[in-house]
């Protein structure tokens, strides 16, 4: 700033000496443009309504900009970003990293690892973030160290947006709202998303089709919620099937007509064929087997207020902002709350597979990476957390525990915790094969011996990795362009009892998401349980009135 100020004085002095009249107008125009490109500071934000409870002084930001000698184009955006937040932290709060921090760091990790984006490489930041992500009981503070990391992440975030999106599709003010900044009325937020017009007619949804599809559904539910929502159905005590007659049927028909599952204006008390078809559609929307039976739980799902569904859609539109642009060619997507894996080829779905994901307390993380290796007959290197919490207590009472589980100790780590692995074989927890995509969370796909878990509707049981219902199918698919790997050779490798790594000739991108609301390939809106309470955590900080427990989890 000091250099800019001195430069301005020098220029004005020279122009005054030359009695050049037009120069002052040019300077005024540049100053006006600079101010126009910086959002006004929002002094209405404070600790009672902010998204994060940590704040810092603007002088710290100015010192950072000066010390880094940032170009004015980046400096203006940083000032604008924090004016919008009233100098509230974006990436940290006193209870840890925000959901958006994990999401952005995953994108950052991907472009620096796989896309070789050298402009974002920063060894110091990488080391710092690796440590923060690994810390289980993180309690950030508004001190110099965290402020520096906060501002460095924001600089990298701005550079990422500028580097990865064509100009115009992520507006400056829109970018500033990728991370919530204060509690707001969900209908106000929905209205601003639905009705904001851009002069250049460029919108984020133009480059992100899943976001566009969900935004269209937001419009539908916004109108319903703004109009008062739908009627609450009298709770039932037993399931209802086609053919029965009951006054509650009239209420159910009206409810499903409002959201479009049921066509026509039938308001009779009779459970008709038309209602059965509507119920099947609603069941599919909620992730149930579409048997056409109205259960006690299904009525509870119908009774979730429209305004709560608006919140759920808004939260997931926010998550979609952090997903990479889907590539051409092959792609694997796992949606954690759906307990499903989807394979795409040239943006068209090829096939699906059921999965088991991490149970509560062992949350599978959202991230993206390239699946580049298959391991047949794998060892299971037991994570240190499992060694400490589960294995060491058992060893204390049973010295023969490792041998009984076909495990062995192979030294200790830097903290003195025993390194334990399970040998390949029939009892191995990873089954016969695992699939690797390098990441800092130690997450991968693998086989499992617990096949019965795939028979359940809700499948959150693992320690964080993702178990595949059909691992052999996945291996065959990934190695289909490596003809030396015949089905017979793969079968032998899976049962050899000897670990073998195979590098893929053509790595396949993997995206792991946490969507509790999305539009599927058939154009149907889906809702799912918030199995890790991510919606509840973010929604409580994002919306006036918090986030209803009615949709946190179906009990």
Q: How much is the pLDDT for 430?
A: 92
Instruction: Please say which residue of 128, 158, 182 terminates a domain.
Output: 182
Mean pLDDT (the chain, rounded): 87
4 and 93 both lie in a single domain = no
25 and 160 both lie in a single domain = no
CA angle, 330 then 202 then 307, to 5°: 85
Residue 551 lies inside a defined structural domain of this protein: no
pLDDT digits (tens, 9 = 90+) for 134-164: 887 899 999 999 999 999 999 999 999 998 8
In this structure, what token pair is assigned to residue 502? 């195979």
Q: Is pLDDT at 29 greater than 50 in this prediction?
A: no
Residue 340 lies inside a defined structural domain of this protein: yes
pLDDT digits (tens, 9 = 90+) for 84-116: 999 999 999 999 999 999 999 988 988 888 776
Q: How much is the pLDDT for 27?
A: 40
26 and 94 both lie in a single domain = no
pLDDT digits (tens, 9 = 90+) for 426-437: 889 899 999 998
Instruction: Please say which residue of 138, 153, 182 terminates a domain.
Output: 182
341 and 469 both lie in a single domain = yes
2 and 74 both lie in a single domain = no
87 and 176 both lie in a single domain = yes
Between 324 and 370, the more confident residue is 370
Q: How confident is the model at residue 16 (pLDDT cuts 50, 70, 90)?
A: very low
Cβ neighbours of 257 (radius 10 Å): 17
16 and 123 both lie in a single domain = no
Residue 111 lies inside a defined structural domain of this protein: yes
59 and 132 both lie in a single domain = yes
pLDDT digits (tens, 9 = 90+) for 30-41: 444 556 689 999
6 and 84 both lie in a single domain = no
Dist. CA 237–CA 528, nearest whole Å:
23
Report the pLDDT averaged over residues 444-449: 86
Residue 155 lies inside a defined structural domain of this protein: yes
Instruction: Please say which residue of 160, 182, 204 terminates a domain.
Output: 182
Q: What is the pTM of this model?
A: 0.86
pLDDT digits (tens, 9 = 90+) for 375-432: 999 999 988 888 998 999 999 999 999 999 999 999 998 888 899 999 999 889 899 9
Range of the domain at 178: 37-182
Q: How many domains does the chain have?
A: 3
pLDDT digits (tens, 9 = 90+) for 347-357: 899 999 999 88
465 and 493 both lie in a single domain = yes
492: domain CATH number? 2.40.440.10
Residue 467 lies inside a defined structural domain of this protein: yes
Residue 262 lies inside a defined structural domain of this protein: no
Q: Reduced to 3 states, what is the DSSP secondary structure of residue 445?
A: strand
Residue 384 lies inside a defined structural domain of this protein: no
Dist. CA 512–CA 445, nearest whole Å:
11
Residue 158 lies inside a defined structural domain of this protein: yes
157 and 80 both lie in a single domain = yes
Place of tokens 């053509």: 506
3 and 130 both lie in a single domain = no
Q: How confident is the model at residue 554 (pLDDT cuts 50, 70, 90)?
A: very low
Residue 321 CB partners (closer than 8 Å, separation 6+): 178, 204, 208, 211
């Amino acid at each position: 700033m000091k250099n800019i100020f001195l430069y301005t004085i020098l220029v004005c002095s020279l122009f005054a000496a030359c009695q050049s009249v037009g120069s002052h107008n040019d300077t005024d125009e540049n100053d006006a443009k600079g101010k126009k490109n910086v959002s006004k500071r929002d002094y209405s934000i404070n600790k009672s309504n902010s998204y994060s409870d940590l704040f810092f002084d603007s002088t710290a930001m100015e010192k950072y900009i000066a010390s880094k000698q940032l170009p004015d184009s980046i400096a203006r955006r940083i000032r604008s970003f924090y004016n919008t937040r009233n100098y509230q932290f974006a990436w940290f709060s006193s209870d840890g990293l925000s959901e958006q921090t994990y999401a952005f760091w995953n994108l950052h990790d991907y472009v620096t690892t796989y896309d070789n984006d050298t402009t974002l490489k920063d060894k110091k930041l990488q080391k710092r973030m690796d440590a923060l992500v690994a810390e289980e009981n993180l309690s950030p503070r508004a001190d110099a160290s965290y402020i520096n990391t906060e501002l460095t992440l924001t600089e990298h975030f701005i550079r990422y947006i500028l580097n990865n999106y064509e100009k115009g599709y992520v507006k400056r003010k829109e970018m500033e709202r990728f991370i919530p900044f204060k509690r707001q009325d969900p209908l106000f937020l929905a209205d601003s998303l639905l009705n904001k017009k851009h002069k250049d007619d460029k919108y984020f949804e133009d480059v992100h089709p899943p976001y566009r599809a969900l935004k269209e559904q937001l419009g539908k539910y916004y109108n319903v919620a703004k109009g008062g929502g739908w009627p609450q159905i009298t709770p039932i005590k037993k399931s209802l099937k086609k053919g029965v007659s009951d006054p509650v049927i009239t209420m159910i028909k009206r409810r499903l007509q409002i959201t479009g599952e049921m066509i026509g204006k039938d308001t009779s008390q009779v459970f008709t064929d038309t209602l059965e078809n509507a119920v099947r559609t609603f069941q599919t929307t909620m992730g149930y087997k579409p048997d056409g039976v109205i259960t006690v739980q299904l009525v509870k799902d119908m009774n979730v207020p429209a305004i709560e569904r608006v919140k759920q859609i808004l939260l997931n539109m926010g998550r979609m902002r952090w997903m990479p642009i889907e590539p051409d060619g092959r792609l694997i997507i796992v949606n954690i709350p759906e307990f499903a894996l989807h394979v795409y080829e040239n943006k068209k779905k090829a096939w699906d597979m059921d999965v088991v994901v991490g149970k509560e307390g062992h949350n599978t993380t959202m991230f993206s990476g390239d699946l580049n290796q298959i391991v047949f007959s794998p060892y299971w290197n037991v994570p240190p957390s499992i060694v400490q919490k589960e294995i060491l207590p058992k060893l204390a009472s049973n010295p023969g525990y490792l041998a009984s589980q076909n495990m062995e100790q192979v030294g200790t780590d830097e903290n003195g915790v025993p390194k334990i692995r399970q040998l390949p074989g029939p009892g191995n927890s990873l089954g016969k094969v695992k699939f690797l995509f390098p990441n800092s969370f130690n997450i991968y796909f693998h086989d499992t011996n617990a096949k019965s878990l795939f028979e359940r509707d809700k499948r959150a049981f693992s320690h964080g990795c993702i178990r595949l219902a059909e691992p052999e199918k996945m291996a065959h698919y990934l190695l289909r362009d490596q003809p030396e790997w015949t089905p017979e050779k793969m079968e032998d490798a899976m049962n050899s009892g000897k670990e073998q790594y195979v590098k893929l000739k053509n790595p396949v991108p993997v995206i792991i998401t946490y969507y509790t609301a999305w539009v599927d390939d058939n154009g149907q809106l889906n809702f799912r349980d918030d199995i890790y309470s991510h919606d509840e955590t973010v929604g409580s900080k994002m919306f006036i009135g918090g986030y209803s427990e009615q949709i946190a989890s179906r009990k």
